Structure 1
Amino acid sequence: MKKCLIIICFIFSCVQLIAQVKTKPKTHPGSTLPATAVSGKAIYDKYCLTCHQADGGGVPNMNPPLIKTSYVLGDKSRLIKVVLNGFAESVDIDGESYSNVMPAHDFLKDQEIAAVLTYVRKNFTNKAPAISSSQVKAVRATNKK
Structure 2
Amino acid sequence: MKLSFLLLCLSASVAFAQSKKPATKPAPKPAAATTKLPGQLIYEQNCLTCHQANGSGVPNLNPPLRGTDWVLGDKTRLINVVLKGLQGQEVEGDTYDNAMPAHDFLTDAQIADVLTYVRSNFGNKASEITAEEVKALRGK
Aligned-pair distance for 1:101? 1.1
Corresponding position of 1:65: 64
Partner amino acid for 2:96?
Answer: Y
Q: Is the 8 A contact 1:91 1:99 kept in 2?
A: no
Which structure 2 segments of 5+ residues have no match? 1-32
Select which of 100, 121, 124 maps to 1:123.
121
Q: CA RMSD in A?
A: 1.3
- Alpha-carbon distance in 1 for matches of 2:85, 2:97: 12
1:91 to 86, 89, 92: 89
* Helix, strand or coil at the partner of 2:95: strand
Deviation of 1:140 (Å): 0.7
Bigger Cα Rg = 2
The residue identity in structure 1 corresponding to 2:89 is V
> Larger % of helix: which?
1
Q: Which has the higher strand share?
A: 1
Return the offset for 1:90.
1.9
Secondary structure, aligned partner of 1:100: coil
TM-score by structure 1 length? 0.71
Query: Match for residue 135 of structure 2?
Result: 137
What SS is found at the alignment partner of 1:92?
A: coil
Report if the CA contact (8 A) 1:58-1:65 is conserved.
yes
Asked if the contact 1:57–1:65 (Cα under 8 Å) also holds between the matched residues in 2, the reply is yes
> CA offsets per residue over residues 65-113 of structure 1, 9 Å max, x none?
00110110010010000000112x3221111111101111001000000
Aligned identity (percent) is: 56
- Alignment: residue pair count: 108
Counterparts of 2:89 and 2:56, CA distance in 1: 16
Query: What is the TM-score with the length of structure 2 in the denominator?
Result: 0.74
1:93-112 to 2 correspondence within 5 Å? Answer: 93-112=91-110
